[in-house]
Amino acid sequence: MGEYPLGEAFSLLGVDNMVKLLTCTLLETQILLYSQDYQRLMTVSECITTLLFPFQWQHIYLPIVSAHLYHLLDAPVPFLMGIQCRDRAQRSSLHLPHEANLCFVDIDNHCVEAPEDLPIFPDQTELIQELSEVLLCFGVSLRGGSHTKTDGAASPHLTSLVLEDLMEDRRNGNLGGEELAVLERLQALALTCGGRKLSEGGKMLQNAEEEELKSARLNVQVREVFAARFAAMFNRYEEFIIHSALDLDSWLNNREGTSSFDKGSFLSVQPETHLHFLSQFLETSMFSSFVDGKVIARWVDRDPVQHLFDSRLERERLYDTEEEDSRNGRYRKCKSLFESAQTIERRLLKADHTAIHPHLLDMRIGQGRHQQGYFPKLQADVLVQGQNTNKWSSRVTAPRRAESKRPGGAVHAGSDSEHRQKHTVARKNLRQSKLLDPSPEATSQTHREFVNGLLSECRLKTKQMLMERMGKESVELGQGEANITGLQENTLIHGLCDLLERTWGHGLQLKQGKSALWSHLLHYQAAQVKTETPAESPGSNSSEVRTFDGRAAVLRGSLIHDMRFIQTMSEGLSEVGQARAWIHLALEKKMLSQHLKELLLNQELLRQLYKPHAFLLCEEEREQFLFHLLSLNTVDYLCFTRVFTSINIPYRVVIIPMKKLSIAMATVNPWVCVSGESGDSGVRQIPKNTQEIYFQCKNLGRLSTLQLGQENSGLLAKCLVDCVMVYNEITGHTYKFPCGRWLGKGVGDGSLERVLIGHLVSPGGEEDAGRLTGTPPELASPSQSVRNVLGSLGRSRILSVEVQEDMREAANNLVKHFHKPEQERGNLTVLLCGEGGLVTSLEKFLLHGFKSNRLFQRNVFVWDFVEKVVFSIETADQMGDVHVSNLAKGPPCELLCHYINAINASPRNIGKEGKFQLFVCLGIRDRLLSHWLPLLAELPLTARVYEDGALLRDRAAVHSLSRILRTLNEFTVTLETSLVKGIDL
């Protein structure tokens, strides 16, 4: 039974730092322990890996790295290593190529420097409190600085007597044969002499046993606390295991292309405060290995550790009578502390075998002494040796090698062991390499494996990101919760940033700053400035600069421009933060692969910065790496826009009039107000005789609507606008807001202001705004052609079936919108007011069969009919219309008149189309539209202005539409400010 000095580890670092270190270990960051004492390195590393149950560390594990293995600090993979601090050396003396994802643990100074944006361990405050209570019960100091390690020679339980030294060496298994016989004679002599010393020795041994039992109780109770936490977090993990294969071979063959755990559904039932940690932990190798072990347990024997954990979960579910929602479950302390202490006591009293302590076989008498609860003192002279010269090591391993070569050596293992080996061989490649061999050939082979590992990891990460982004349809059909999908996407992008940092840190000659990637970018920027000639300056190069209103703005394809923008961001970002921001921006612009390729073209700079074995100097692997990153251009990301919400973004707005009447723009004074997910730009006046404006404002997020208006001043204060284009000068995104209608009094519907619905076109598509992105575009503002058709619906007698189908489709799109995860819902305004939206569909319904006395029936508006309805209701008593008077007494009729009068009294000049759009949106928001439609159908006015075959006079059609609209009443509709501005309802 192996026990570790957990009390010493917690006393060295403190509870807070130990929990922080455990979080870093679970998330598989690069962990480097630093201390002057080898024992402390061994203690902390062994204790932290012990607390991971039921998970197991899957990467490089070297608790003590000897001097000749310092090159392993260059490993671009997660690791847990320990480095001895010699002669009070400073941390800066260590050559650490990449610190972006490094957890540096200074044991002597009781300090843990965690990576940036480290998530908080679930219920961390309560966990620290519970651990503190357990440790205080055993008298363990919780202040790292107050702990003083006692050397084994100064232990109160050990004296300098030769007999006691020999007794200790006997316990360690160092004595045998004649030496053991001498010890027995000395013990017999001591018994013959009798007296006080013997009783003191017996008391000393009894105290030592009590200390051993106390240490064992502490260890098991601390481990129980952590095991209880993992059991609480993953108590129902089996329900989310995906069994997609019929046999083990087929599962192994399709391992990369399938998912064995439903992460989205699992996260959707977790408390919101746990999501940040769990979303990252689910992407680690230790969790993947844990899930894989559960999957292959269908065909082979379960791993003993996993079997023990599953048994614990079954026992807790059996005796747990409290049924609580996992998302709202309160923190519950471990209930098995007392039981576990009793169990460990019974095991110690009836031990089957006492294992000897680790030691060299040629250890001198007295050298194996150690204090109970501490690791034996290690020999520094052995750790600094370049080769393993222990002659006894081959005696242990050689028979095992011979046994494995025998034909029948593996028979007892059976096919189960073979399958398990086949499953884990890929993951253990790096761990099984000759990491401890300092020869140049072995070191070169190790770095070659690192290069292949980085390339393989890049391929897997990009494939996972593509599957996550392109598989939205399947996500929408399954279980989902608000922000779960977006959280998973952010986690994958965070993993990509970590991969790029480790790739750029491999084989680095001289590190500058914590971010290897940002350091390389700075070197590249400095080299570009030196080689830049006056003819190539940003102010004169047309391929990089374009001027708007006297302002210079570098075009979106420039790597240097992106760097300069990141450097000017007022976010107070560190070097690591700047590198991540640059990656987010390049990924959103679909320029990540191209930017990195441009960065790597400077071979002279690469050779100056990197060693020959570095990944970036391996030409073939580097090209494949860039090719995998290039595949990310097939999907759209808004990772920069949605993460950095507080920065200022430059926007350019261009109004495009109809070509035939483009001269009309010189006679109006237009203004715009751009709105997005994060707010609006405010009213921006466009200078006279121009069609564009350039301004900066706080990041608006993804743009959704644009208010376009004019002041109705000038000789010809009207214009026919084709569309409005908005350009994000940083991300390169182009938004098109179709209009196709007049803006001015006395023309069209007399509107001086329009709310336009936009959609995203291709990044950098300034010259070709019609070229769409890889994903389907959202619906935009209704086109002019649709308006022309609407004006002639009554005469052309469009089939009512088509109109009703459009209405059902619009309502169905709204229902699906609210049933999607929040991050996948898109823009509600588009579904309400865009082309094919609810407003347009209802407008078609109400215009079907509409009579008109005009000779040219182009300017037919539903709002004219709505206003007549209000007038007939308000004058019903005067006209003696009893039927209308009775209808007017009901709440629906009163609210109808109230809303219409409020819209007409609005200070906004939004025209008849805009008023009807506002009428529909307010009716849906306040759950009144389904009541208003039957009311309109019952009014006598309807029979006078509609033909007999009109849909509004068809009771079945009206009843069906009212039922469809009632399905929307269960949802909470939040309208954009641009739609309801100036309306107080």
Q: How many CA atoms lie within 13 A of 135 on its CB side?
A: 24
Dihedral of alpha carbons 757, 763, 764, 765, sign: negative
pLDDT band of 396, cuts 50, 70, 90: very low
Q: What is the pLDDT of residue 772?
A: 36
Domain at 121, CATH number: 3.40.50.11500
Spatial separation of the C-alpha atoms in residues 301 and 292, rounded to whole Å: 13
Q: What is the pLDDT of residues 79-103, one digit of tens each?
A: 999 988 876 666 666 777 778 888 9
Domain boundary among 706, 733, 768: 768
Cα(833)–Cα(925) distance, integer angstroms: 13
Higher pLDDT among residues 614 and 389, named by residue = 614
Does the pLDDT of residue 61 top 70, yes or no? yes
581 pLDDT higher than 80:
yes
Kindly tell me if the per-residue pLDDT of 185 is higher than 80.
Answer: no
Same domain for 693 and 598: no
Given pLDDT bands bounded at 50, 70 and 90, which one contains residue 361? low
Task: Calculate what percentage of the chain has a pLDDT beyond 90.
Answer: 21
Q: Which of the four pLDDT bands, split at 50, 70 and 90, describes residue 558?
A: confident
- How do residues 239-272 score in pLDDT, each as one tens digit? 888 887 788 888 887 777 677 888 888 888 888 8
CA nearest to 309, candidates 407, 223, 214: 223
| pLDDT tens per residue, range 447-460 | 888 899 899 989 98
Model pLDDT for residues 278-294, shown as the tens digit of each residue? 999 999 999 999 998 88
* pLDDT tier for residue 413 given thresholds of 50, 70 and 90: very low
For residue range 973-984, list pLDDT tens digits in order. 988 888 888 787
Asked whether residue 713 falls in the same domain as residue 753, the answer is yes
User: Could you tell me the strand order of the sheet in which 648-657 lies?
Assistant: 692-698, 648-657, 718-728, 734-744, 759-761
* Higher pLDDT, residue 405 or 919: 919
Tens digits of per-residue pLDDT, 824-867?
677 788 888 888 889 999 998 888 888 865 544 456 788 988 88
Average pLDDT of the residues of the chain: 76
**809 and 947 share one domain:** yes
For residue 71, is pLDDT > 80?
no
Question: pLDDT tens digits, residue range 780-799?
Answer: 566 544 444 444 444 445 56
Model confidence at 56, pLDDT cuts 50, 70, 90, reads very high
Q: How many domains does the chain have?
A: 5
Mean pLDDT is lowest, of 151-160, 309-318, 740-749, 922-931, for 151-160
| pLDDT tops 70 at residue 2 | no
Name which residue leads in pLDDT, 548 or 907: 907
Q: How far apart are CA 758 and CA 735, in angstroms?
A: 6
Give yes or no: residues 626 and 653 share one domain. Answer: no
* H-run or E-run covering 79: strand 79-84
Look at residue 302 and give its three-state secondary structure.
Answer: coil
More confident residue, 210 or 65: 65
Considering all CA atoms of the chain, what is the largest pairwise distance in Å, rounded to the nearest integer?
Answer: 133
Is residue 85 one of the residues assigned to a domain? Answer: yes
> Do 276 and 257 belong together in one domain?
yes
Alpha carbon distance 861, 765 (integer Å):
36
Q: What value does the mean pLDDT take over residues 623-627?
A: 94
* pTM across the whole model: 0.78
Least confident range of 471-475, 594-598, 811-815, 831-835: 471-475
pLDDT at 518: 92
What the block records as the tokens of 303 is: 């791993």
Domain co-membership, 566 together with 660: no
* b/e code 152-168 from CB counts within 10 Å (16+ = b): beebeebeeeeebbbbb
**How far is the C-alpha of 306 from the C-alpha of 308, rounded, in Å?**
5
Do 492 and 627 belong to one domain? yes
In terms of DSSP H, where are the helices of 834-890?
838-847, 862-874, 876-879, 882-888
Which pair of structure tokens corresponds to residue 259?
């998912």
Give the pLDDT score at 916.
92
The least confident of 210-224, 697-711, 953-967 is: 210-224
Same domain (yes/no): 866, 951: yes
According to the model, what pLDDT value does residue 375 have? Answer: 63
Q: Are residues 656 and 634 in the same domain?
A: no
What lies within 8 Å, CB to CB, of 376 at 6+ separation is 152, 357, 358, 359, 368, 369, 370
Task: Identify the pLDDT of residue 538.
Answer: 39
Q: 823 to each of 494, 679, 731, how far by Cα in Å?
A: 18, 17, 20
At 737, is the pLDDT very low, low, confident or very high (cuts 50, 70, 90)? very high
Task: Give the pLDDT band (50/70/90) at residue 26.
Answer: very high
- The predicted pLDDT at position 699 comes to 92
Mean pLDDT of 642-655: 91
Residues 607 and 503 in one domain: yes
The pLDDT tens digits of the residues spanning 7-22 come to 888 988 889 999 999 9
Bond from prior residue into 538 cis (ω within 30 degrees of 0): no
Q: Are residues 630 and 723 in the same domain?
A: no
User: For residue 304, what is the enclosing H or E element?
Assistant: helix 304-319
pLDDT the model gives residue 304: 87
DSSP per-residue codes, 603-668: HHHHHHHB-TT-GGG-HHHHHHHHHHHHGGGGS---HHHHH-TTSEEEEEEEEEE-GGGGGGGGG-
What's the domain range around 668? 648-768
Q: Helix H segments across 320-388?
A: 337-349, 380-383
Whether the predicted pLDDT of 914 surpasses 70: yes
Tens-place pLDDT, residues 127-171: 999 999 888 888 887 654 334 343 333 333 333 344 555 555 555
For every residue of 196-254, DSSP letters joined together read HHHHHHHHHHHHHHHHHHHHHHHHHHHHHHHHHHHHHHTTTGGGGB----SSHHHHHHT
pLDDT at 628 over 90: yes
Which pLDDT does position 697 carry in this prediction? Answer: 92
For residue 620, the model assigns a pLDDT of: 92
CATH code: domain of residue 507: 1.20.58.900
In a domain, 144, yes or no: no
Indicate whether 654 and 798 sit together in one domain: no
CA distance 394 to 401: 10
Taking CA atoms, 112 is separated from 33, 131, 144, in Å, by 9, 18, 12
pLDDT of residue 354: 63
CA-based nearest residue to 8, from 371, 303, 355: 371
User: Is 811 among the domain residues?
Assistant: yes
The CA distance from 10 to 142, in Å, is 7
Q: Give the residue with greater pLDDT, 49 vs 888.
A: 49
Phi, psi angle pair for 299, to nearest 5° = -115, -20
Average pLDDT over residues 726-749: 87
Residue 671 within a domain: yes
Top mean pLDDT of 3-7, 62-66, 94-98, 692-696 is at 692-696
Domain boundary among 611, 641, 671: 641
Domain limit, last residue, from 89, 114, 138: 138
Q: Quick one: pLDDT at residue 478?
A: 33
Rounded Cα–Cα distance for residues 888 and 895 (Å): 10
Residue 24 has pLDDT above 90, yes or no: yes
Average confidence (pLDDT) over 569-579: 85
Whether the pLDDT of residue 397 is over 90: the answer is no
In a domain, 47, yes or no: yes
Answer yes or no: is 320 within a domain. Answer: no
Kindly report which listed range (111-125, 747-761, 793-807) carries the lowest average pLDDT score: 793-807
Give the pLDDT band of residue 551 (cuts 50, 70, 90). Answer: very low
Q: Which of 16-30, 235-249, 392-406, 474-488 has the lowest mean pLDDT?
A: 392-406
pLDDT at residue 939, as a whole number: 85
Q: Torsions phi, psi of 681, nearest 5?
A: -85, -10
Report, as an integer, the average pLDDT of 517-522: 92
- 591 within domain boundaries: yes
Residue at 317 is within a domain? no
Q: What is the mean pLDDT of residues 429-437?
A: 54
Tokens encoding 732: 């390169």
* CATH code assigned at 743: 2.60.60.20
Q: Pick the residue with more confidence: 717 or 408? A: 717
Kindly report the CA angle at 448 between 446 and 453, in degrees rounded to 5? 95
